[in-house]
Structures are given as structure tokens and as C-alpha cells.
Amino acid sequence: MGAECVLEFKNITKRYGTNTVLHDVSLSVKPGEIHALLGENGAGKSTLMNVLFGMPVIHESGGFSGEVFIDGNSVVVMSPHDAMAKGIGMVHQEFMLIPGFSITENIKLNREITHRNPVSAVLGDNLELMDMPAMRRDARKALDSVGMKSLDELALVKGLPVGYMQFVEIAREIDKTGIKILVFDEPTAVLTESEAKLLMEVMRSIAESGIAIIFITHRLDEVLTVADTVTVLRDGKLAATRQVQETSLIELASLMIGRTGSESVVDLPPREEALTGKIALKANDLFVEMPGEMVKGASFEVREGEIFGIGGLAGQGKVGIPNGILGTFPASGQVELFGEPLPLNDVRATLSKGVAMLSEDRRGVGLLLDQSIEDNIVFSAMQVHRRFLKGLLPRVKAAPPGKVLRSAVWALSVVLVLAGFFGLTRYQLAFNRSAAVKAYIAFQKQATAVVGEADIIIEDTASSADDVVLPSGGAAAALEEEEAEPVVSVFLSEKAADTLTPGEKILLFFANSAWAFLAAGLLLAAAMYAYQCMIKGSVTLKDTSGIRALSKQMIHDLDIRCTGSGQLVGTLSGGNQQKVCIARVLALTPKFLFVSEPTRGIDIGAKRLVLETLVRLNREQKLTIVMVSSELLELRSICDRIAIVAGGKVAGVFEPNANDADIGLAMSGITPERSGAV
Amino acid sequence: MTQDAAENKSSIGSSVKKALAKAGITRLIIFTFFIVLCIMADAAGISVPSMLGFTVKRAGMYGVMALAMLPAIQCGIGLNLGMTLGVLAGLVSTLLCIEYGLTGWPAFLFSAILGSVIALPVGYLYGKLLNKLKGSEMTVSTYVGFSIVSLLCVGWMLFPFKNNALTYALGPGLRPTHNMNTSYGALLNNFMAFRIGKMTIPTGMVAFFLLCCFGMWLFSRSKTGTAMIAAGSNPRFAEAAGINVDQMRMIGTILSTVIAAVGIVVYQQGYGFLQLYQAPRQMGFIAASAILIGGASVTKAKVSHVIIGVTLFQGLLTLGIQVANKYVPGGGMAEAFRIIISNGIILYALATSGGASRE
């Protein structure tokens, strides 16, 4: 081929450890060609691009074998910066734009056109001033060339519609001088239909100017619309390279899915009895606001006792379905479980109705990493069903006190406490008003006048006031001399009992028994509360022996490799962590189980065990299971039916042995019209 | 089975390493520093046993307040530097106790219970605030603490206290320092206290502190307690298990505030004085550094961290000041050393544990 190809990969193989992610992949791109790169998640598209851009992850993990040619010269791209210098640009899936900067500034970021000035002459180039008019001109030109003629180049990126940001991103890449290859990483994922159409036109016009485009996508129809050549990757291998005119939607779909061997991941034991066909779960028009996995009106039915698979590409909403039904993300729509409506957005209610979920985010949602295996296993069951708890107080078998009795006791205790406070305050207020204290204060005021030094006075006052606290003969004497009206309990008590007025007697009673009142009120309230707790059994502690017994059982049944049930979950391997998650779900004794990406990130052996456990639960306990997975092979091997989700909707429901092409089409959002759909 | 055995064997091999990691490098360094201080004190002719007696006394004094950090960390709001709110509730209840002229056990119980009762609504409002400002709790709680102390500086001048034991003789306002001897000073300290040589053990106070710790330990094993800890350590996990995370944070915040109120009451009976105005400002920091030194992080804490931490922290402070004074003569240095040592420990504890916990 030689120099006529601007970019050529030759026999690229990349391994991460023992895992081969790219196997002998070759492809070539001519100038001005739009080359589509098609494949499922994990097919190796991103890895190939990482090789092209010299991402650190490639070099840190031992590099790759094979050769990359640019303009016919063998090159090794060492870093993304290096890639830029060699004329390779990338339009990212997630926007790499600074919201607070204007479009011009974003486009020219780190490639600013600058003026020299006296300061920069002395202190270096970094202090040169920006040449805004020149930058604006460049930005304008770049924006015009991507069809954004009406967009103001000085507008801030913040607040732009998402689609526009995508075009700004493209404008930035185009503005780079010497760009030869431009990679579009799923550019249409966030665009509306009309924006996507515009993007296609822009891609065409860019290609016409001689720049080669690599177009990464899931959407088959877009490939057919815009690309010249298409390369399909599957499981890290080159499935095929086709000229677009010579291929069809169906062919591409089956190339993308392609059955890798007929062997099943697990042995599937037959059911003892056939499915009844009753509906276990019915979702109608389900919407879920899960960032990155939005569900937009999915409807499906799950039959009792079956394993129902949900497949589809990443970001299409398949993960949003279980999360929305469980209630961890805001959802709307109608969901019925065993004929009863299921409340949405209420996790506790959903769980207590017997729905359980094995989360796709094992470390983030599925586990308490810094707690022990046993605590993790029983947590949900303890919280939802109050199991594995034992009462701290002895349980009393009695009917709870009636409402009247209850409120009477509470009211009495409040009255008692208030009476106590009343007594205390009477005591105090009266005390302060007493003539004895007044006399002291008057005396101190005189002393102030004499001495005139505040500090000393304060000290004196304190000590004299302290003296007053203890009712002394002196105070009483002072009282008698002044012949002031005695209102204070201490002073009252000094008077002969027969000289007290009835009002004074009551006051004295409250003042003297203030403490008894307070204590009685508080004790009564405490006793009442304790009694209620004893009846309800609500003061509980973890039942350690019960927890340990269950954990031991689970560790044995699921073959969790650990040093003991007290080992921290964070120190287990991924597969064993997943088994702990399963144990936690089983401890809930669910009637309906959602399983989301159960085999993500665990090794083959553990994968098999996890799937076998699911099948066993389904066969032995007649548990209805909905399994969400990105791995079609996995779904095919254990599911009774598979729904494919695309664009937040169910694009089709298939038998596990359905045609590759049909499933592939459904994945790119095209509902198949041929047979095969159930 | 054989694989299991092999795994067990390898784990025994690395058990020394694990034990070291379990003890925590920070704790080991501080503990070593503590031992060095003991040796230096002995060399300087300071009676180490009596210093250890002081350490126990001070640990008991600050212990309950350090315990107030525990539910805050467990429920996920992190170091509750705004526990000053609870401290102030305890101050108000103690002032009322003096105002009413209560003495002895009634005085202590009155202050502790009323303090808790005041702390309940205060903690509730504080919890509401923290739930609205998730993610920046440390900053918020620090400034809540500072501003409420300043606000109450005005309050101390305005509250209508009438007892002359409390107020300035001239004009309105409460005096900054009050002797607790007339109410409940040294009440717990002297309860069943005994001496071993030069060491005095304040049995009542230590027992009260350990009782509070036991209560918290029990709580952490209850249904609500486990839910609260889960909500703190992994909110998304808790939500997926149907737990109301905000409610759990609320429970933790209220609990922390209430314990702080009881804590200041215990502190005052041990210290023998009640201090108003700017004095409560640093209480939160002292409690926070104690629990951090004990091995807690900003996201995870246990009762043992409180006990170990408060003992180490107060031990360092007691010994450190004495030793520094011996080796560097000059009267004015004592206060400077106190500040340098206590703030130094706080900084060290925050720097080492705060960094490790934020993965």
C-alpha cells in the first residue's frame, strides 16, 4: 500500500497481563476517507485508539506488538502530545472544554496567538499577550467550516446546548495546523437527530478537504450513511473490513455480534416443571433518570420462574432499568410485581416486597468495604426484615398500652417536670428579690464609690454572694431587721409555720419538693419509654451467633475464599466480593431478583460459579431472575429470553438462540421486522 | 480445600505486617514519642507516676467530649468541629444549675440532663444545616462553632441571670470564670477515688467515661447504629438497602451534640471551673485531634480510638509541657509550649489521618 495510506496499523497485538485485548489487528486509512470502526463494548476499539494516541496506559502495561505507519513511515507514538504533533486529532466523547472560557479561548487553548511585550522579553514567553483579533479570526474560520455559522465565537462555552459543544470540540481539532487524521469517538451519542445529520455533513466536508476520519460508533445506520469503509472488531480480533457500498445492515449486525463458539459458559440443567407463564413483573413506559444510562419509556414483561436477560450496549439504558425499579435512581412509569403495583422511588418498600438487586457497582454500591464479611452479608436482611437482631431488654408479652393511658402518662411526666422547674425558679427568683441580697448590693455599691476599683469589687461581690447561697443566720437576721416581706422558701422556712399565708404555704411546698417532682417526672417518662420498647422489642443488638452461623453457611455454599467470616470485605478478590454480594442478597430471601452485570471484572472461574449459582437459585428455589449484562454470550447461555435495550427503550425480545443479525440490529436501535422476535 | 490452607499459611506469614498496619503508623509514632517524653521526664526529676495520674484525670475530663466525635464520624459528617453547640448547651444548663443554687449529685444530674435536652433541638437544626451542605461539613461545622461562640458572647451579657454568684456586680452580664465548688466540682473525681503511690485515680470520672463508651459501643451494635455506620461509610450502599441516609446523619449529629453537652459537664466537674466567652472555641479541635490520634480517620472511627486517643493526647500534653518547662527555663515559656504542643499534635493528627482516608 505504501504512502497512499495516511495511517496504517499492521498486526497490532496488545495484552494486559494474560488477557489479549487486541489480536493481530490490521487496518489502513486513506486520506479523505471516512473509516468507520464498529464493535461491541470491549471489542477493542478504545484500545486501538489508545495505541494510536500513545496513551500512558499502553506504555505502562508493556506496550504492544505490531507497527503503526503514518504517511508510510513507521512511528511509535509515545504520548498524546506526540500524537498531536504527528497530526492526529481526537473529538472526545466527553467534552474536553472549559466552561468558563469563551469558544475562541477554548479553540485556541494552549495554541494561543501572542504578541511580544517588554515584560515577556525579560521574563519569558509565558507572559506574552494574546492577540485576540487574530484568535477570533481563526476561531471564526474553524466554526464556519463545521457549519456553525450562527454561533458567536466570543460566547462562553458554559450554557451552550450539548450539541453545540460537540461542534466546538470539532472546530478546535480542525483549527490545529497539519491535522491529517481525526478520530471521532461516538460523536452522535449526545446529539439530537438533526444535529447528528449536520455532523454527518460536517464530517463529509472535512473528509473532502483531505483529512482522514476514523469514526467510532455503535450505530449501524450512521455507518452506512457517512462512511466509505467499515472495519468490524469483535473480541479484540478483526472480524471484517468492508467497503460500505458492498455491505448491508444485516451483514454488519451479524459481523458485530458473531457467535464465538457454540459452547455454553455453564451447563444448564433442565427445569423440573414447565413455566406457568404467569407474569411476575410488568413494566410499562418506565423512565429512569440515571446519568449515562437513561431509560426512556421501556416496557417489558417478566414471567414467573424464568431468567430474563437484558442486554444492549453501554450507555443505552439497560443498567438503568433495575436501578429505577429498585428506587436508587428517580423513576416514573407503571411497574407491577406479582399483580400488585410496585411503588417507585421507595427502596425500603421495594425491598420489603421481596425484590432484591445485585448491583453492577460492586465496590461502590454493593459492599461496605471496611466491614467484615458477616456484617456485609446480614446488613440488608437486618435493616429490611429486622432479622439477626436480639432484644437488649427482656421482651414483654403484653398488649401495648392504650392511647389514652399512654398520653396520660406522658402528660403526667411533663406536668411533673414543669412543676419541678416551677419550684426551682420560685426558689431562685424569690431568693434574689430578698432584702438580704438587696442589702448586700447596696453595701457593695457604697464600697465601689469608696474604693473605685472595679476588679476588687467583682471579687468581693462574688465571695459575698457565695456566702448568701447558704442561708445563714446573718441573712435571716438582716431580713428581720429590714422587716421585708418574706417570699423565699429558705426564708419562709425560718418563719413559724402558723404565720404563713396559704399562698406562701403552696410556694414553700413547691420550692421544697422541686427535686422530687423533677425526678419523678423524668423517671416516669423513662419507665414508660422502656416499657413500650420491651413490648415492641425495638431496642435490639446484633445477634452475633445467628449472624456467624448464616455467614459460615454462605461461605461454604458459595465457596467464598477467606480467612474467616470476620475478614474485611475490602481485602477479598473481585470474585469473592461478588459472592459476598450474592450472599447478602440471598440473606434477604428475595422473591424477585435483579442481577446487574454480575460477572464484570471477575475471573473466569468465579464467573462460572456466579452464573451457576444464579441458575441453581432459579431451578431450586423457583426464583425469578432478571439479569442485565453486557456480555451477550453470558445472557445466551443462561437466559430464557433476552431483551435488547437501545436508546432507553426495549428494541426487541429474543430467544437465546436468535439470529446474530437480529440482535445486532436491535442493539443499534433498529427493531427487527423479521421473525425471531418473541 | 488445599488452596484454602495455602492462603491461610501465607496470611500467617504476613500477620506481623498486618498487626503493624492495624496498630497504625501514626499511633505508633505518637506512642513512641510518649515513651520518650516519659524517659525525659524521669531524667529531669519529674515524678512520672504523678504525671500519669494527671494524664488519667485529664483523659477522663476530655474523654466524653472526644466521644462526641464518634457518632459524627460514623454517620458521615466527619469531624464535628461544631460540637461547640453541644458544649454551649452544657454551659447553659450548668449556669442554670448554679443560678438555682443546686449542689452535689442533683446539680450534676440536672446539668447533664438539661444540657442534653437543650442539645436535642440545637442538634436537630444543626443536622438540617449539615444535610443541606453535604460535602463541605468540616468547613461548615468549624464556622458554625466559631460563630455560635461569638454569638453567645453577646448572649452571656444579655441573659437574665439573677444569681449574684454568676453576674458582674456592676451592670449586666456573666463573669467569665466560675468556681464549680459550690455546685458539682470534683464530684465524680472524688467518687471512690484512690491513690496508688503518687498516682491518684479519679474512679468516678473514669467509670462515667467508660460507661458512656460502653453505651456508644452498644449503640453501634444496634439496628439503628449499624444503619448509621453504613450510611456514613458508604451512603450509596445504605440507600440501596433502603436506609434514609439524611435521617441517619441527623441521628449522628444530634447524638454528637448531646454527648458534647454531657462532655462539657464532666469536663467542668473535673476542671473545677466553668469558663464562658471565648473559652469553648477550641473544644472541638481538642476532641477531634484526640480521636484522630487514637487511629480514627475522617470517615471511620471506633470506641477504642476514643479511649486510646484521648489518653495519648492528654498524656503528651501533660508530660510535654512539664518536660519543656524543665529543659527550657523561663516562666513565660509554659504557655507558649502548651500552645505549640497542643496545636502541633492537632496538625499532625489531621495531616496523617485526613490524608489516608480520602482515597
- The answer to whether ipTM exceeds 0.85 is no
Residue recorded with cell 500534653 = B317
The residue that leads in pLDDT, B101 or B107, is B107
Q: pLDDT tens, B45-81?
A: 888 888 888 889 899 999 999 999 999 999 988 888 8
Asked, for residue B21, whether it belongs to a domain, the answer is no
Distance CA A366, CA A596 (A): 11
SS3 call for A157: coil
Nearest-CA neighbor of A359 among A597, A175, A587, A548? A597
pLDDT bin (cut points 50, 70, 90) of residue B88 is very high
Percent of chain B scored above 70 by pLDDT? 89
Of A384, A427, A460, the CB nearest to B241: A384
pLDDT value of position A673: 56
In a domain, B44, yes or no: no
| Rounded Cα–Cα distance for residues B344 and B350 (Å) | 10
Look at B99 and A428 and tell me if their CB atoms are within 8 Å. Answer: yes
Cβ contact A352–B242 (<8 Å) = yes
What's the gap in Å between the CA of A247 and the closest CA on chain B?
Answer: 46
From chain B, the residues in CB contact with A350 under 8 A are 242
In angstroms, rounded to a whole number, what is the distance separating the alpha carbons of residues B161 and A522? Answer: 25
CA triplet B226, B214, B31: central angle to 5 degrees? 100
State the average pLDDT over residues A205-225.
Answer: 86
Alpha carbons within 13 A on the beta-carbon side of A124 = 1
Which structural domain, as residue segments, surrounds residue B263? 63-288
- Specify the range with the lowest mean pLDDT, choosing from A74-88, A329-343, B15-29: B15-29
Give the cell for residue B101: 443554687
A156, A136, A139, A158: which is closest to A148 by C-alpha? A139
The minimum CA-CA distance between B263 and chain A, rounded to whole Å, is 21
Single-letter code of the amino acid located at B89: A
pLDDT tens track for A373-404 = 998 998 988 888 888 888 777 777 777 778 88
- What is the nearest CA distance from A537 to chain B, expressed in angstroms? 12
* Cell numbers for A123: 521574563
In the predicted structure, residue A16 carries a pLDDT above the cut 60: yes
3-state helix, strand, coil in chain A (%, to 5): 45, 20, 35
User: What percent of chain A is predicted at pLDDT more than 90?
Assistant: 10
A424, A464, A488, A552: which to substitute to probe chain B, counting the most B Cβ within 10 Å? A424
Give the gap in angstroms from C-alpha A111 to the nearest C-alpha of chain B.
Answer: 35
If one counts every other C-beta atom within 10 angstroms of the C-beta of residue B339, the result is 10
- Chain B CB contacts of A561 under 8 Å are 3-4, 7
pLDDT confidence tier of residue B12, bands split at 50, 70 and 90? low
Which residues in chain A have their CB less than 8 angstroms from residue B182's CB? 466, 469
Neighbouring CB atoms inside 10 A of A669's CB total 20
User: Above 80 in pLDDT, residue A610?
Assistant: yes
Q: What is the pLDDT of residues B271-312, one digit of tens each?
A: 888 888 888 888 888 888 888 888 888 888 889 989 998 998
Please report which helix (H) or strand (E) contains residue A406, including its range. Answer: helix A403-433
| pLDDT of A564 above 60 | yes
Higher pLDDT, A165 or B246: B246
Residue pairs between chains A and B whose CB atoms are closer than 8 Å: 125
Q: Which of A441, A461, A469 sits opposite B182 (nearest CB)?
A: A469
How distant is the Cα of B196 from the closest Cα of chain A, in angstroms? 35
At A434, is the pLDDT very low, low, confident or very high (cuts 50, 70, 90)?
very low
Residue B89 and residue B122: Cα distance in Å, rounded? 8
Contact B170 A457 (CB under 8 A): yes
Number of continuous H segments (helices) and E segments (strands) in chain A:
25, 24
Q: Is the pLDDT assigned to residue B214 strictly greater than 90?
A: yes
List of chain A residues whose C-beta atoms are within 8 Å of the C-beta of residue B229: 371
User: How far A136 CA lies from chain B's nearest CA (Å)?
Assistant: 40
Q: Is the pTM of this model over 0.80?
A: no
- In one letter, which amino acid is A349? A
At residue A231, the 3 state secondary structure works out as strand
B137-158 helix and B84-99 helix, angle to the nearest 10 degrees:
20
What is A269-354+593-598+621-678's CATH number? Answer: 3.40.50.300
Pick the residue from chain B with its C-alpha nearest to A389. Answer: B223
Task: Decide the pairing of beta strands B273-275 and B199-201.
Answer: unpaired
Higher pLDDT, A600 or A31: A31
Alpha helices (runs of H) in B159-244, residue ranges in sequence order: 187-190, 203-220, 223-233, 235-240
Number of separate domains in chain B? 1
DSSP A591-631: SEEEEESTTTT--HHHHHHHHHHHHHHHHHH--EEEEE-S-
Kindly tell me if the per-residue pLDDT of A609 is higher than 50: yes
Closest Cβ opposite residue A465 in set B3, B165, B239 = B165
Residue B72 and residue A79: Cα distance in Å, rounded?
Answer: 46
Contacts of A50 (CB under 8 A, 6+ apart): A57, A58
Please give the grid coordinates belonging to residue B177.
470564670
> Minimal Cα–Cα distance from A562 to chain B, Å?
8
Most B CBs within 10 Å, among A319, A363, A380, to test the B interface: A380
Q: For residue A295, what are the contacts with CB-CB under 8 A and spacing of at least 6?
A: A286, A287, A288, A317, A320, A321, A324, A331, A645, A648
| Residue that the C-alpha cell 515559656 belongs to | B333
Residue among B8, B164, B242 minimizing CB distance to A384: B242
pLDDT for residue A549 is more than 80: yes
Three-state secondary structure call for residue B100? coil
CATH 3.40.50.300 range(s) for chain A read: 1-86+180-260, 269-354+593-598+621-678
* Per-chain mean pLDDT for chain B: 84
User: What does the alpha-carbon distance between residue A305 and residue A301 come to, in Å, rounded to a whole number?
Assistant: 12
Which residue of chain A is at minimal alpha-carbon distance from B107? Answer: A515
- Mean pLDDT, chain A, whole residue set: 80
Within 8 A of A328 by CB-CB distance, chain B residues are 236, 239-240
Adjacency order of strands within the sheet including A355-358:
A355-358, A592-596, A624-628, A307-311, A641-646, A649-654
| Model pLDDT for residues A37-71, shown as the tens digit of each residue | 888 777 788 888 888 888 888 888 888 888 899 88
Q: Which residues in chain A are contacts of B217 at CB distance < 8 A?
A: none
Alpha carbons A95 and B90: distance in angstroms, whole number: 53
Nearest by CB to residue A368, choosing from B3, B102, B234, is B234
How far is residue A107 from each of residues A111, A164, A448, measured CA to CA in Å?
A: 8, 13, 79
- Residue-wise pLDDT for A312-357, tens only, equals 887 888 889 999 999 889 999 999 988 889 888 888 899 988 899 9
Q: Tell if the CB–CB gap between A328 and B222 is shorter than 8 Å.
A: no
Instruction: Please indicate, yes or no, if residue B112 is contained in any of the structural domains.
Output: yes
Residues of chain B whose beta carbon is less than 8 angstroms from a beta carbon of chain A are 3-4, 7-8, 11, 99-102, 106, 110, 113, 162-165, 168-170, 175, 182, 218, 221-223, 226-227, 229-230, 233-234, 236-237, 239-244, 300
What's the CA angle centered on A421, arms A416 and A425, to 5 degrees?
Answer: 150
Taking an 8 Å cut-off on Cβ atoms, the answer to whether B100 and A457 are in contact is no
Among partner residues A368, A432, A462, which is closest to B162 by beta-carbon distance?
A432
What 3-state class would DSSP assign to B276? Answer: coil
Inter-chain residue contact A561 with B168, CB threshold 8 Å: no
* Interchain CB distance below 8 Å, A448 and B168: no
Q: How far is A574 from chain B (nearest CA, A)?
A: 16
**Cα within 13 Å of Cα(A294), Cβ side:** 7
Beta carbons of B169 and A328 less than 8 Å apart: no
* Model pLDDT, residue A483: 36
Residues facing A241 on adjacent strands: A231
Give, in degrees to the nearest 5, the angle at Cα A340 between A339 and A345: 130
**In chain B, which residue's Cα lies nearest the Cα of A442?**
B169
Domain A1-86+180-260 class, CATH top level: alpha beta
Q: How far apart are CA B237 and CA B68, in angstroms?
A: 25
Distance CA A154, CA B9 (A): 67
- At B150-175, the pLDDT tens digits run 999 999 988 888 777 788 877 778 88
In the beta sheet, which residues pair with residue B195? B200
Find the DSSP H helices in A295-353.
320-326, 347-352
Tens of pLDDT, residue by residue over A259-303, are 554 455 677 777 777 777 788 899 999 999 988 888 998 999 999
Range of lowest pLDDT (A159-163, A306-310, A499-503): A499-503
Are A348 and B164 inside 8 Å of each other by CB? no
Cell matching residue A410: 406522658
Q: Do A389 and B223 touch (CB under 8 A)?
A: yes
Chain A residues lying within 8 Å of B8, measured CB to CB: 563
Instruction: Spell B46-64 as b/e; 16+ CB within 10 A means b.
Output: bebeebbbbbbbbbbbbbb
Taking the C-alpha atoms of residue B164 and residue A646, their distance in angstroms, rounded to an integer, is 79
Q: What is the CA radius of gyration of chain B?
A: 21
